[in-house]
A = this chain, B = another copy of it.
Amino acid sequence: MLSVAEANDCVLRRAETRSSSRVSAVDACGLILAEDITSDVDSPPHDKAMVDGYALTTSDLPHTTTLRVLEEVTAGDVPTLTVVSGTATRIMTGAPIPAGADAVVMVEQTRSMTRDNIESVTLDTVALHAGANILPRATSLRRHDVVLSAGHLIRPIEVGLLAEVGRAEVAVLPPPRVAVLATGNELVPAADVPAAGQIRNSNGPLLQALVARAGGIPLDLGIAPDRSDALGERIEAGLSGEVLLLSGGVSAGVLDLVPAALAAAGVQQVFHKVQLKPGKPLWFGCLIDESCSRLVFGLPGNPVSSLVCFELFVRPAIAKMSGRSEIHPPRREGALTRAHVQRGNRPTYFPSILSEQAGNLTVEPIDWQGSADQRSLVAANGLAMFPAGDHDFSPGDLVSTIPL
């Protein structure tokens, strides 16, 4: 039986990025850039006023401190007159500096007056060096500069920069489409009232929500009964995406038809069962055709096993297929708040409450009725990892954790 690390390696080796597609820069947030981005502008595009005030020539100072106002330039305007000795142009933040001017005095350090229709300004300061309150053209970036490279994660900051350099649309690596199919004769949709022997399909909605949170695009395939023809049909539909998640039908019972139905659809088994608790019956296979490989996960039918397998194997696959460099969520060590008994030859991932206290992480394994107990799971915000082997853990012992 494969270890978790070996199984992970099998999955990630087959997880490929999709070909790039173009989306609006705002929609690209959270995705990986698939092209180098070159600026088509200088930024700022002109020597720019950094304050509201008067553009002047510092060679007038300190002897001339009353200047005739030529015109007013606001952001979006273009100056029409050259500032010469004895003159100034009233200027607003962001506006282009007129020819001849080499500094801007802040409006708060001036008094303006108008007499005989001629406007003038008197400076309260002469402490002004050339370049004062001017941001020179191309300070921040130059035309033809590569401002972002392919592979970069697009965050809101990058969305702003893309807009500045003229990219309303960009090429990104699209996240994988992940089809979710719950299997089992006993399942009815959440909106239905279960008859005797039936339960509602909770894994389908759980997995769709996990896919969306992991950055994948969930596709809901509903519920397939345990019949080869129905399973085959849904599996075919599910293979239109890059990943297919099946829940249920992979343990050893007589109605566990899923592996056979997958084989019939051309999906080759890569592994079945992993040294892991819960989640041991995990099935993983791959359909390879000319265009790309599709990953198929047969997840155990109970919610916590599904959740653990998703966190350990599906989430990293979605991250890699999305082109992200951080494939595995960061793991942190935390100190147990209570004793915990670990038994058996499989590492155990136990739902736990992780709390941050003054920079230290504490880990409280939840009171829990076993892997079908969704209700108690609500208290958990992480998984604590207990290595294989019989060991009695004491309060204060350090364990590795995965945040949920």
Contacts and interface: CB of A to CB of B under 8 A. Distances in A.
A207 B200 CA distance: 41
Contacts of A25: 190, 205
B301 A201 contact: no
A368 to B, nearest CB: 10
A382 B87 CA distance: 44
Interface string A337-371: 00000000000000000001001000000000110
Nearest to A142: B375
A276 B72 CA distance: 30
Contact of A161 (B76, B166, B226, B375): B375
B252 A375 contact: no
Contacts of A200: 41, 163-166
B252 A185 contact: no
Contact of A213 (B29, B94, B167, B380): B29
A356 B331 CA distance: 12
Interface string A21-54: 0000110011000000000110111101010100
Contact of A140 (B147, B155, B157, B372): B372
Most chain B beta carbons < 10 A, residue from A26, A169, A184, A255: A26
Interface in A145-199: 145, 147-148, 152, 155-169, 184-187, 189-191, 193-194, 196-199
A156 B76 contact: no
Q: Size band of the A side of the interface? A: 35 or more
A122 interface: no
B163 A201 contact: yes
A252 B52 CA distance: 7
A206 B25 CA distance: 10
Contact of A26 (B169, B208, B255, B370): B208
A161 B210 CA distance: 13
A380 B202 CA distance: 40
A95 interface: yes
A78 B197 contact: yes
Nearest to A46: B197
A48 B377 CA distance: 19
Given A93-B301, A94-B184, A168-B189, 9 more contacts: A26-B212, A29-B209, A41-B199, A41-B200, A45-B199, A140-B373, A156-B210, A157-B378, A163-B201
20 contacts: A25-B190, A26-B212, A29-B213, A52-B253, A74-B185, A94-B301, A95-B186, A95-B197, A96-B197, A145-B375, A147-B375, A157-B206, A157-B303, A159-B209, A160-B303, A160-B374, A163-B190, A163-B200, A166-B200, A332-B359
